[in-house]
Copies of this chain bind each other. A is one copy, B any other.
Amino acid sequence: MDKTVIYGKNAIIEALEQGEREFNKILISDNSRSDAKIEQIKRLAKQNGVIFQFVTKEKLNSIEPDGKHQGVIGLVAPIKYTELDDFIEKNRNERTGIVILDGVEDSHNVGAIIRSCVCAGIKGIILPSRRGVLINSTVEKTSAGAANHISIMKVNSLVSAVQKLKDNDYWVIASDHHAEQNHYEVDYTDMNFALIMGAEHAGISKSLLKLSDFKVKIPMLTNFNSLNVSNATAIILFEYVSQLCKKTRGNKNE
């Protein structure tokens, strides 16, 4: 069972600063050396009216057995998922990018993808309820708090979600290493897009590929055709960011 905890100093600082997560309390190891970050956590907790409590390291280890808590664990209310309809409505009047994860199973990858999405100005992530990873403590830790900066949606059917996005003026882009078009040959800047990334071995399901408006591949310089899915996502998203930066700069120079 995944308890609703946030652990790791940076993840907790981020969540406290962001203020969108409801903390029950923060547990701090009573024998950890107090460093600048622990002091910052205590200060932020006081500011936010969050109780903190000193406990033994053994207590922390019992909550987070992998020992990656860095001496501090936050007990929080579960992350709030967003409804797809609400998301579409809220973002109807501006260009919006979404990432859809089709069966990505590794929590570290999902966390890193959330970080990249937030850095790239992506506004929403869609996860399937039944396959792949939902947001757990490892995802939150790996996301370094980014999970609080983006709308996260879980849906029963990715096909229905993609169809709904298409009906609402989103273009659907599938990352597929069999594609003919290179990822940098699509202009991402002038549309609402939903980028589908698949599981590392299985790829994207056929039903989703069929719904896609573009299929793009990341060209490789060797036959070792095996990028980590979070790296592949980052490469495509930051191609979009580069295009947008070049365009903005171009407009300024006109």
Please, which residues of chain B bring their CB within 8 A of the CB of A182?
242, 245
Q: Of the candidates B144, B221, B227, which one forms a contact with A244 in the assembled complex, judged by CB atoms under 8 Å apart?
A: B221
A79 contacts partner chain B, Cβ-Cβ < 8 Å: no
A231:B115 contact, CB within 8 angstroms: yes
Give the CA-CA distance A245 to B220 in the complex, in Å.
9
Decide: A225 near B119, CB < 8 A? Known: A238-B218, A245-B219: yes
A/B interface sample: 15 pairs, CB < 8 A: A112-B228, A115-B227, A116-B227, A119-B221, A119-B222, A119-B225, A120-B220, A120-B221, A121-B221, A220-B241, A221-B241, A228-B230, A230-B230, A232-B234, A235-B235
Nearest Cβ on chain B to A151's Cβ, whole angstroms: 14
Q: Which 3 A-B pairs have the closest CB atoms?
A: A121-B221, A231-B234, A235-B238
Q: Which residues of A contact B (CB under 8 A)?
A: 108, 112, 115-116, 118-121, 142, 144, 146, 149, 182, 184, 218-222, 224-228, 230-235, 238-239, 241-242, 244-246
Interface of A is mostly: helix
C-alpha gap A66/B210 in the complex (Å): 39
The complex places the Cα of A108 from the Cα of B144 at a distance, in Å, of 15
Please report the C-alpha to C-alpha distance between residue A142 and residue B108 in the assembled complex, in whole angstroms: 11
Cβ-closest chain B residue relative to A148: B224
CA distance A218 to B242 in the complex (A): 9
**Minimal beta-carbon separation of A6 from chain B (angstroms):** 16
Knowing A184-B242, A239-B242, A242-B219, the reply to whether A118 touches B224 (Cβ < 8 A) is yes
Kindly identify which residue among B119, B220, B232 contacts A227, using a CB–CB cutoff of 8 Å. B119
Contact of A228 among B116, B239, B244 (CB under 8 A): B116
List chain B residues, Cβ under 8 A from A108.
108
Q: What is the chain B residue whose CB lies nearest that of A248?
A: B219
A242 to chain B, nearest CB (A): 5
